[in-house]
Amino acid sequence: MSIQVYEGATLDCLRENPIEILRKMLLIRIFEEKVEELFLVKGMLIGPAHLYLGQEAIAVGICSNLKKEDIVITTYRGHGHAIAKGVSIKKIMAELFGKKTGTCKGLGGSMHVAIDVENGILYATAIVGSGIPIAAGIALANKYQGKNLVTVCFFGDGAVNTGAFHEGLNIAALWRLPVIFVCENNLYAMSTHISRSLSSKSIAERASSYNMDVFIVDGNDVLSVYKLARELVEKVRNGIGPFFIEARTYKMKGHGVYDPALYRDKEEVKRWLERDPIKLFKEKLIKENIITEREFENLRSEIVKEVEESIDFAIKSDYLEFNELYNLVWV
Contact residues for another protein (CB under 8 A)? 71, 73, 102-108, 112, 115-117, 122-123, 125, 127, 130, 132-142, 144-145, 163-164, 167-168, 170-171, 174, 325, 327-331
Least CB distance to another protein at residue 223 (A): 31
Closest CA to 15 of 78, 59, 67, 85: 67
* Cβ proximity to another protein, 18 vs 106, nearer residue: 106
Least CB distance to another protein at residue 213 (A): 21
What is the C-alpha to C-alpha distance for residues 17 and 23, in angstroms, rounded to an integer? 10
Sign of CA dihedral 318, 321, 324, 326: positive
List, in order, residues 6 or more apart from 13 with CB less than 8 Å away.
223, 226, 227, 230
User: How crowded is residue 235: how many other Cβ atoms within 10 Å of its Cβ?
Assistant: 15
* Cβ proximity to another protein, 55 vs 103, nearer residue: 103
Least CB distance to another protein at residue 93 (A): 15
3-state secondary structure at position 263: coil
Least CB distance to another protein at residue 331 (A): 4
Least CB distance to another protein at residue 25 (A): 27
* Cβ proximity to another protein, 136 vs 223, nearer residue: 136
* Cβ proximity to another protein, 122 vs 212, nearer residue: 122
* Cβ proximity to another protein, 243 vs 272, nearer residue: 243
**Paired sense of beta strands 243-248 and 179-185, if any:** parallel
Least CB distance to another protein at residue 136 (A): 5
One-letter amino acid of 34: K
DSSP, residue by residue, 32-83? HHHHHHHHHTS----S-----TT-HHHHHHHHTTS-TTSEEEEESS-HHHHH
* Cβ proximity to another protein, 177 vs 252, nearer residue: 177
Q: What is the CA radius of gyration of the chain?
A: 19
